[in-house]
Amino acid sequence: MPTTVRRRRRVAAVHPAPSLAAAVRTVQIAYPRIYLACHTTHTRARSTPFRLSARDSSLLVHLDETEPTRPADLARHMDIGAPTLSAALRRLEALGYLTRTPSRADRRGLELRLTPTGAAALSATSVLEPARVRGLLRSLEPNDRARAVAGLAILGRAAAGLGRRGRA
């Protein structure tokens, strides 16, 4: 009589959505853990081949390679004056890290985009050490890694949208 082997299918556990308060607390706990585990020492702008200061990096991190950002929105979000922002943008454009192009919607306005060179510079000078982030991600099972990265991407998009709409 042949023996039938039954394999248990792994069924994802269904967890009820946490309350907003519980979700806030989870983010407040998880974010610093990730930051501290992957944080690198700060370097001075002149000591890197990319010549990026902390302020430069904080500007570039708000830009995207495909989605444009208006300088006025960036200045408002970062709470810096237009002249200060304009000088920084000129410098970063001269380094090849961003492009400033006329707005398609408003020819008087500008659109800022991160260039591939800017993305590489940002990655290389991030406060999150790429090797540590890789190690953290390698420590996860592939499905968990995909879910974690997708979740962070969702939070990142929400954060970018919150910045455009104003603070909570």
Sorted by where each starts, the structural domains of the chain and their CATH numbers stand as: 49-127 (1.10.10.10), 128-168 (no CATH)
pLDDT digits over 78-89, tens only? Answer: 888 989 999 999
What distance in Å separates the CA atoms of residue 127 and residue 148, rounded to the nearest whole number? Answer: 19
Q: How far apart are CA 20 and CA 129, in angstroms?
A: 31
Q: What is the pLDDT of residues 72-113, one digit of tens each?
A: 988 988 888 989 999 999 999 999 999 999 988 887 889 999
Alpha-carbon span 65 to 145, nearest angstrom: 24
- Bridge partners for 67 per DSSP: none
* pLDDT band at residue 119 using 50, 70 and 90 as cut-offs: very high
**Alpha helices, DSSP H, located in the chain:** 20-38, 54-60, 71-78, 82-94, 116-124, 130-138, 142-165
Whole-model pTM over 0.85: no
* Mean pLDDT estimate for the chain: 82
Q: Which of 52, 62, 53, 47 is nearest to 96 (CA)?
A: 52
Residue at 129: amino acid letter: E
